[in-house]
Structure 1
Amino acid sequence: MTIDLDAIAANWRALDAMSAAGVQTAAVVKADGYGLGVGKVARALAAAGARRFFVAVAEEGWAVREALGPGPEIGVFSGHMPGDTDMIHDLGLVPMLNSIEQMTRHFEALPGHPFGVQLDSGMNRLGMEPGEWAAVREMVLGLGPRLLMSHLACADDPDHEMNPRQLAQFIEMTEGCDVPRSFAATGGILLGPDYHFDLTRPGVGLYGGLPYEDARPVVELDLPVIQLREIAAGESIGYGNTFVAERPTRVATVSGGYADGLSRHLSNHGVLFHEDTPCPILGRVSMDLIGVEVSHLGEEPKFLTMLGRHQGVDDIAEAAGTIGYEVLTQLGPRYVRRYARGRE
């Protein structure tokens, strides 16, 4: 697996340029940098100009802080959970407090420590609801939050009526607060400046995923061929006999499977590539192995490409009936990861 760090940096700079004038652009590096290795990813983003980062949980903040040192700010979407106090203090993390319970925990355990507040503008996932926020708003604002944020539920669909509805709710909850505000992840940036406020926080677009269609591809994945065999008409391949050959067929068995994040939904459906030539998957994707037809190739392939110039994470996601986020974050630990620089 080759990870193009320059492409990640270029995608951040492009999304930063799309953010309205005067708006700071952060970077979301949760889930181990979307599965690509948070240390190297965070350093590449910091070199590109990112100064604020977000992770999902406090434990993820450790690797980011280790990679970047004491300077950059690291926000934690899940807030201040039980048992997080020492990590938040020692690592200098900024929890996005989601409830009165979290506020009580944070203000009692770490008085004076920086914090943000996450508000629920309609997604009903994380954050304080309007009535709850109204009850504590003045008290919390008096303690100087670093950020007020919310999250869009349908930003990937620019015409969805939920987007302006959430925008109106967020404005109503935050107008007049005199605190920096953040509402837009990748999809929100693409919705335009009305959604940008003071800080944008792109995630999947940094890593080459939709809805940022112009993103530079970040990941290439080649699977080595373990064995080649010829099967006769009427013979099957793999578990369950789900593929039976109608003619003599040459099959490559490649190293990779659902233990490596390659979904069983690609069985008899997905393709790999040999240079520019598609090669269909035959039979079921198993834990460690995939059968691929190579009858039409003029040479014996040493490897076949799952992710590359002809097929990105969202193409695989479409074939598997999922989303690019899932494909990225499920790429397993058995891949040899090679980090490339100097392609710009």
Structure 2
Amino acid sequence: MRPARALIDLQALRHNYQLARELSGARALAVIKADAYGHGAVRCAQTLQDNADGFAVACIEEALQLREAGISGPILLLEGFFEADELALIERYDFWCVVHSWWQLEALERSTLSTLSTPLTVWLKMDSGMHRVGLHPAEYQAAYQRLLASGKVAKVVLMSHFARADELDCPRSEEQLAVFQQAREGITAEVSLRNSPALLGWPSVPSDWVRPGIMLYGATPFEQEQAVAARLQPVMTLESKIISVRELPAGEPVGYGARFVSERPTRVGVVAMGYADGYPRHAPTGTPVAVDGQLTRLIGRVSMDMLTVDLTDLPQAGLGSRVELWGKQVLASDVALQAGSIPYQLFCNLRRAPLLYLGG
């Protein structure tokens, strides 16, 4: 069988969740939307369910998949509901629900006993400066009071989302925090503000609930080195093998478009991995890879099913040698930086390569 595969270290996943708890001193919703960022939502949830305070997903389809797999803890719908008739399912499966728009609040108010007979746990989202979704700060108090008066809500958690928490020298997060604090003044309720970059880099931000996402999977959200992020353990190792070796003289092109031309006699290793597996097509020559535990580089253009690496200085490497594309030795963040991407996208784009779980 084709040797490309992704190894998922479940012990590292547990470690990263516990680190989120340790850093925050708060309850933590493990964010496992988008199939746990490509790591497999069901298996990740099953691994964490005895310790996690709950889970967060993007939509009701993802939440239903978890319930059907036996996950019984709290599950928050980060985008709330898209149609009012989803409220019946939200009640039936005991989901928590974000409300970020007036139409959602009004749909809750209009719901009847046949649709919604049990009050919901609602997370009321404020647009404190992200300008994506969320209620305007000037409307926040009124929305909170209407939720309480509706009789449809058992509990409200106040939340917002930072736009630039991954920029450690940027004042925008402090500005958003000030907007949030002013707009919720006088409301006594639990608060959720800290996502992964805020958890790792903004310890003074208050949060009764934190929402670790990318950090669960062991990747840093920062472009620069950061001491706390260095404690994360990579969860996914994307690997394959050398399936062919070529000996080329100087001056020979490799791959589509002749993006690499050998400057000296070069041993080229062909790897069963390409952009159809999710490896970034735009990763340039020089992007790090490891062959049998030794660092070398990608050369030439990534194609659909194969890519090429430099074996010139690795005389022991050859046919069948193990290649780590990213993982514990080659960090996904380093590959992403070379490719003009982010580790979130690398993980979420993974396809075709089967997931193999370790430490379950």
**Structure 2 counterparts to residues 128-277 of structure 1, below 5 A:** 128-142=135-149, 143-211=153-221, 212-277=229-294
8 A contact 1:285–1:291 mirrored in 2 = yes
Q: Residue by residue, what CA displacement relative to the aligned partner does 1:248-285 show, whole Å, maximum 9, x if unpaired?
A: 32211111111112112213231311134222222110
Count of paired positions: 337
Match of 2:358 among 328, 340, 343: 340
1:97 to partner: Cα distance: 0.7
Distance (Å, rounded) in 1 between the aligned partners of 2:64 and 2:127: 27
- What code does the residue aligned with 2:56 have? F
Which residue in the other structure is 1:30 paired with? 33
Map of 2:308 onto structure 1: 291
1:89-135 residue CA offsets vs partner (Å, 9 max, x unmatched): 33322220111111122333444333221111111111111133244
Q: Is the 8 A contact 2:97 2:120 kept in 1?
A: no
84-93 or 316-325, larger mean C-alpha shift: 84-93
Match of 1:97 in 2: 99
SS of the counterpart of 1:221?
strand
* Distance in 1 (alpha carbons) for counterparts of 2:328 and 2:121: 43
Cα separation, 2, equivalents of 1:67 and 1:12: 21
Give the whole-Å Cα distance in 2 for the aligned partners of 1:198 and 1:168: 17
Per the TM alignment, residue 137 of structure 1 is displaced from its structure 2 partner at its CA by 3.0
**Segment drifting more, 127-136 vs 278-287:** 127-136
Q: Percent identity?
A: 33
Distance 1:193-1:270 versus aligned 2 partners, 3 A rule? closer
1:6 and 2:11 are equivalent in the alignment: yes
Contact 2:284 2:301 in 1 (8 A): yes
- For 1:165 and 1:304, the matched residues in 2 are separated by 45
CA contact (8 A) 2:99 2:125 kept: yes
- C-alpha contact 1:189 1:196 (8 A) present in aligned 2: no
DSSP-derived class of the 1:26 partner = strand
Is contact 2:29–2:55 with CA below 8 Å preserved after alignment? yes
Amino acid at match of 1:16: R
SS of 2:121's partner is coil
Shift in Å at residue 86 of structure 1? 4.6
- The answer to whether the 8 Å contact 1:117/1:145 transfers is no
Unaligned runs of 5+ in 2: 1-5, 222-228
Gapped runs of 5+ residues in structure 1?
A: none
Q: Quick one: distance in 2 between partners of 1:32 and 1:58?
A: 13
- After TM superposition, the structure 1 stretch with the greater mean CA deviation from structure 2, 91-100 or 28-37, is 91-100
Q: Which residue of 2 aligns with 1:117?
A: 124
> 2:289 and 2:202 mapped to 1: Cα distance?
36
Output the TM-score relative to the length of structure 1: 0.91
| Counterpart residue identity of residue 108, structure 2 | H
What one-letter code is carried by the residue in structure 1 that aligns with 2:45?
A
SS of residue matched to 1:195:
coil
Alpha-carbon shift at residue 148 of structure 1 (Å)? 1.4
Per the TM alignment, residue 10 of structure 1 is displaced from its structure 2 partner at its CA by 0.8
Of 312, 321, 341, 1:322 maps to: 341
Note the C-alpha offset of 1:167.
0.9
Change (3 A) 1:254 1:29: same
